[in-house]
Amino acid sequence: MSRLLFVVLALIQASPVEAEVLTLSCAGTMKAEEEQAKPHALSKMGLTVNFDTGVVTGFTGITARINEVNANSVFFKGTTINPPGTEWSVNGTIDRITVTWSSPKTNTLLMRMNYELTCKPTN
């Protein structure tokens, strides 16, 4: 079980009645889904998992809704339209995340990025 997942599960089980906001600092890699793409190192990437409002934030301005929380994972998905008309979306679980960029006008996928992160609570 990943360290992050363990922390999330411990917080969920510790006090489900209290306000639950998990602030994380993450490090790892981001890689485009292209054969020749090389991973880019990431450090100190901030993520916030707010169980009270049901959202995950921290991916380039995308607010993702938490779809499901179970004993093993937190699943989330969100989409935003940026000023030039490009649609950015994120979906994933707490231990693996995929972000996609597409054009809603042409419904064409522009890029898909996979994040592999190890996160630690900051509070």
pTM: 0.71
Q: Are the C-beta atoms of residues 15 and 103 closer than 8 Å to each other? A: no
Q: Are β-strands 96-103 and 108-121 bridged in parallel, bridged antiparallel, or unpaired? A: antiparallel
Whose tokens are 């950015």? That residue is: 88
Any idea what DSSP says for residue 37? Answer: P
- pLDDT by residue for the chain (123 residues), tens only, comes to 444 444 444 444 444 445 589 888 989 988 888 767 788 899 999 989 999 999 999 887 788 999 988 777 788 888 888 777 788 888 888 766 676 777 767 777 777 888 888 888 886
